[in-house]
């Protein structure tokens, strides 16, 4: 997976890119339906699958967070608010595989930028695994500490 980081006076940015050996229809279904998304991110669900539609992030011990869909184009793109930030997935289908690109923006007042960016790296691997094998990844199979160290080094938020 390719990862690129940047920051400006607004906040921090992450772009992740990987290739999934499935068509964009399969990948988009995993990104844009409650049934699909819960295979790799069980806390998310969709209320309305359209721009301006709502999604929910269910958090244990806290109120659910409602997010707004900011981009929705079948098999091409989906984006939504992410707390005070935003995420967007773009899909590029070559017929037998799909290049999936995640762009994420978090403002500096977001409480856990490094942790969130690292978590999305795991989620991207999980999307790939679910699409290609039908199986979810276990977080213990991912070295989150080394990912966090790398993100921290690249962003230098200190």
Which of the 8 DSSP states describes residue 94? -
Instruction: Yes or no: say if 92 and 77 are a contact pair by the CB < 8 Å rule.
Output: no
- The label of the residue with tokens 């790296």 reads 121
What's the pLDDT score for residue 152?
92
Residues 4-58: pLDDT tens digits? 999 999 999 999 999 999 999 999 999 999 999 999 999 999 999 999 999 999 9
Helix (H) or strand (E) holding 5: strand 2-7
- The label of the residue with tokens 């690249």 reads 154
Instruction: Yes or no: say if 127 and 31 are a contact pair by the CB < 8 Å rule.
Output: yes
Residue 123 clears pLDDT 90, i.e. is over it: yes
Strand, coil or helix: 154: helix
Q: Please, what are the domains in the chain? A: 2-41+71-155 (3.30.530.20)
Residues 72-99: pLDDT tens digits? 999 999 999 999 999 999 999 988 899 9
């Amino acid at each position: 997976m390719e990862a690129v980081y940047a920051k400006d006076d607004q906040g921090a940015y992450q772009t992740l890119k990987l290739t999934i050996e499935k068509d964009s229809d399969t990948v988009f279904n995993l990104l844009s339906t409650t049934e699909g998304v819960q295979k790799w991110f069980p806390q998310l669900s969709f209320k309305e699958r359209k721009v301006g539609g709502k999604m929910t992030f269910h958090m244990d011990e806290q109120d659910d967070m409602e997010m707004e869909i900011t981009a929705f184009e079948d098999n091409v793109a989906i984006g939504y608010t992410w707390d005070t930030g935003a995420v967007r997935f773009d899909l590029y289908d070559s017929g037998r595989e799909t290049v999936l690109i995640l762009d994420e923006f978090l403002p500096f007042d977001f409480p856990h930028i490094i942790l969130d960016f690292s978590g999305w790296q795991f989620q991207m691997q999980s999307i790939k695994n679910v699409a290609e094998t039908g199986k979810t990844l276990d977080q213990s199979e991912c070295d989150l500490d080394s990912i966090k160290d790398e993100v921290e080094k690249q962003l230098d938020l200190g």
